[in-house]
């Protein structure tokens, strides 16, 4: 690094972003890609588990497009399907075609709780539609959400999911804090609870169930440090929703086709009334799906609840999704077993590295989603909700480690709440390479204490 604090290694990326900022707000199209503590990184090309930046640096990617790229970057079957489809029907049609029901039939095979579904282009749209469906179906205003859980950026659900601890309600339940300026008080009618706390959830549902349209959650808290559900918690939510006549909406945008073919519902044996899917549903093209019980989805059929979208179910995206769904259907068992083994290999290797380095760390994975962060104190009990992770984790040390990892050729997101994502391109040999590179970084120890390159600000 140069004396002025700039990385010569990423000079091309820095210059590219400087130019981009003249026309694209902030230089990129998601705030999550250009946080104040990001080292610059602009990508020239990608293949399998790797990306090459505009400076020619090669990096093993553990972010994988934030989850969709379960078959790696540029999977041949997806590219082939897209090529064939754009030669045949093009990119968008505005008419029904056979691909979307073919994809839907395969999705239903993986998620037996889905009778009917609708495709859209993003996870955000699916959550917005699900909340509307729930309110219209029950005639009730409130939704119950959880600290640290993210369901996209629509006003329906975008609360301040990574709120600083002092902004959270002192008591166990509070009104949702708006996730951004400009929301006019939304998300309205949302109660936010700590997750994984069966007693609080049951008590709220018993006291106010008649006002509650739905409970919505990530069944593994992927945006809060990959926290698994406590045994019985998902079942408790199911029972509490049923007793109150409320719906259970499982946001499986990350977990669907990642922690098992049938997501958390398969892995933990729970049934949703409405399920949200995106990301690994389609292997890297924009597809979201909201689906569930026929009587709830019937409201869309009747036109009572509106759902549209120029690009919803477009043939190009559906062709890609069909290729991916057929791959799960043909070989899903092996795919998910391999992903699970790869994640266990990575988690085991990371734990070993941090024990050797004498750094207290917590590495967890549920299937092919993993988190790894440094603990402020040794002997911290395993944090099982957002507050506990935010309290226990050393966010600044994580950023310092991420910067050095990026320089050494491993990319993961510098915000510790963003999961590491594995793909089938992360073979055992590639994972060994990740571990070798990170071991070298860890051993240098220059990331342990704050230095000249101390990051500014650690929040999202």
Closest CA to 417 of 396, 443, 445, 389: 389
DSSP E strand stretches across 154-256: 174-175, 190-193, 212-217, 247-251
| CB closer to ligand PLP, 122 vs 314 | 122
Nearest to ligand PLP of 127, 431 (CB atom): 127
Give the active site residue among 55, 279, 328, 411. 279
CB neighbours (10 Å) of residue 56? 9
Instruction: Please tell me which residue in 7, 197, 251, 394 is annotated as part of the active site.
Output: 251
Asked if residue 422 lies in contact with residue 346, where contact means CB atoms within 8 angstroms, the answer is yes
Q: Tell me whether residue 211 is exposed, middle or buried, using C-beta atoms within 10 angstroms of its C-beta: 0 to 12, 13 to 18, 19 or more.
A: middle
The Cα–Cα gap between 288 and 122 comes to 5
**Is 251 annotated as catalytic?**
yes
Angstrom distances, CA of residue 206 to CA of 6, 40, 192, 198: 56, 50, 16, 12
Q: What is the largest CA-CA distance in the chain?
A: 65
Residue with Cβ nearer ligand PLP (226 or 430): 226
| Catalytic pick among 7, 37, 61, 150 | 150
Let me know: does 248 contact 34? Beta carbons within 8 Å: no
Q: Which residues of the chain form contacts with ligand PLP (CB under 6 A)?
A: 66, 122-124, 127, 150-152, 218, 222-223, 251, 253-254, 278, 288
Residue among 57 and 113 whose Cβ is closer to ligand PLP: 113
Shortest distance, position 420 Cβ to ligand PLP, whole Å: 14
Find the shortest distance in angstroms from Cβ 289 to ligand PLP.
Answer: 11
Q: Which is nearer to ligand PLP, 125 or 394 (CB)?
A: 125
Q: How far is the CB of 414 from ligand PLP (least distance, A)?
A: 16
d(CA 87, CA 316) in angstroms, rounded, equals 10
CB of 123 to ligand PLP, least distance (A): 2
Q: Taking CB positions, which residue lies at the least distance from ligand PLP?
A: 123
Q: Give me the least distance between CB of 419 and ligand PLP, in Å please.
A: 9
Distance separating alpha carbons of residues 146 and 198, to the nearest angstrom: 12
421 flagged as catalytic: no
376 flagged as catalytic: no
Q: Which residues are catalytic?
A: 150, 251, 279
């Amino acid at each position: 690094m140069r004396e002025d604090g700039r990385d010569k290694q990423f000079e091309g990326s820095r210059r590219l972003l400087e130019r981009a900022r003249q026309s694209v707000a902030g230089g990129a199209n998601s705030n999550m890609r250009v946080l104040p503590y990001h080292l610059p990184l602009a990508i020239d090309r990608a293949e399998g588990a790797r990306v090459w930046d505009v400076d020619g640096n090669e990096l093993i990617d553990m972010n994988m497009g934030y989850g969709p790229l379960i078959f790696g970057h540029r999977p041949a079957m997806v590219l082939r399907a897209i090529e064939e489809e754009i030669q045949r029907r093009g990119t968008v049609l505005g008419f029904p075609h056979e691909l979307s029901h073919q994809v839907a039939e395969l999705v239903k095979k993986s998620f037996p709780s889905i009778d009917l579904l609708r495709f859209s282009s993003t996870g955000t749209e699916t959550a917005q539609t699900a909340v509307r469906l729930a309110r219209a179906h029950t005639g009730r205003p409130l939704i119950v959400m959880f600290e640290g859980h993210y369901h996209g950026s629509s006003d329906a659900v975008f609360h301040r999911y990574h709120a600083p601890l002092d902004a959270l309600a002192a008591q166990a339940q509070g009104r949702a804090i708006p996730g951004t300026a400009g929301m006019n008080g939304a998300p309205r009618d949302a109660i936010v609870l700590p997750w994984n706390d069966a007693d609080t959830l049951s008590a709220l549902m018993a006291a106010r169930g008649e006002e509650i349209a739905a409970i919505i959650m990530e069944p593994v808290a992927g945006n809060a440090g990959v926290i698994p559900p406590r045994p019985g918690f998902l079942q408790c939510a199911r029972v509490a929703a049923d007793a109150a006549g409320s719906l259970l909406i499982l946001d499986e945008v990350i977990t669907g086709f990642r922690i098992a073919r049938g997501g958390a519902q398969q892995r933990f044996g729970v049934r949703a009334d409405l399920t949200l899917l995106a990301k690994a549903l389609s292997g890297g093209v924009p597809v979201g799906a909201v689906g569930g019980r026929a009587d709830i989805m019937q409201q869309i059929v009747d036109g009572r609840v509106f759902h549209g979208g120029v690009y919803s179910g477009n043939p190009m995206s559906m062709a890609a999704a069909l290729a991916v769904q057929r791959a799960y259907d043909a070989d899903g068992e092996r795919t998910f077993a391999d992903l699970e083994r790869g994640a266990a290999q990575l988690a085991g290797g990371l734990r070993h590295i941090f024990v050797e380095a004498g750094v207290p760390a917590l590495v967890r994975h549920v299937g092919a989603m993993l988190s790894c962060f440094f603990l402020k104190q040794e002997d911290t009990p395993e944090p099982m909700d957002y507050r506990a992770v935010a309290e226990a984790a050393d966010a600044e040390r994580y950023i310092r480690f991420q910067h050095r990892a990026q320089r050494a050729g491993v990319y993961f997101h510098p915000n510790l709440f963003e999961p590491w994502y594995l793909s089938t391109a992360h073979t055992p040999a590639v994972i060994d390479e990740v571990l070798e590179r990170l071991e070298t970084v860890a051993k240098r120890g220059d990331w342990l204490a704050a230095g000249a390159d101390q990051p500014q600000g650690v929040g999202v």
